[in-house]
Structure 1
Amino acid sequence: MLLTIEVERHRGEYVEPRIEDHESGCVFHIHEDDITAEGAVAFADALTSQARRWTFRSPDVPRGPRIPISMELREDMPEGIAIVIDDRPDSIKYKVRAGLIKQHAGDAITTSQSERSPDWQRVPAQYIAHLKAS
């Protein structure tokens, strides 16, 4: 099953950023003051792509290490680039175009992800090249 990540922007009364799991992925709940509409779309896309390299550990497998996860807001992102994820076995670093999300929301999300990381494991990558008719 392919995981899908959603980002839901909340209006009205302020809500702290949080992650809600569901069977096919999760929802990042973030107040509209903390993330732009453009940021929500970019994060949903980037996090869905990233999540497809991870799966829950089965109950018979010991928990893994806690992975440090950080987010850096950057003023100098290349034109048209919203988010770059450096996803390594020992750390995950998000570089995000400044203005898409507030730092405290990014920190809340990455802290939550890091706390949850021992229950996840990487899945092997598979790349497929299709033959092209000449």
Structure 2
Amino acid sequence: MPETDDAKAAAVWKAMLTLVFERHDRRKEVSEALDMSYLRIKALRRLAGQPMTMRELAALLQTDAPYMTVVVDDLEKRGLVRREPHPSDRRAKLVIPTDQGRREAARAEEIHGRPPAEMLALAPEELDELAALIRKLEN
């Protein structure tokens, strides 16, 4: 019996998840390289892209405000972020990465962005085809 389109899509999705999160998961490598939990690294990477309030950061990372305070306190203690008054909301503080924080976020991005050997072995045409398919999925 032929596989349905939904079943094919589910099988491909499962293969993609396995490839990224099981065979080539970089979270442990990044955590060890930066010597901090992966949630702290995620927070730092988000902040490197755009300073934000604690509330915004907690919502983005889907965690509660008290735990986000613990995370930001630790990042601040490490010299990776600083808190500054929000320019338009006296009740809020902006969390801003320091130069060192931006360097560490860039280091995490470099580790995450390193393609696995299997991808480097693809022919240029195959990479073009894969890139086109990914662009199609992003739209």
User: Normalised by the size of structure 1, how large is the TM-score?
Assistant: 0.28
Larger radius of gyration: 2
Higher relative contact order (CA 8 A, sep 6+): 1
User: Normalised by the size of structure 2, how large is the TM-score?
Assistant: 0.28
Bigger helix share: 2
Bigger strand share: 1
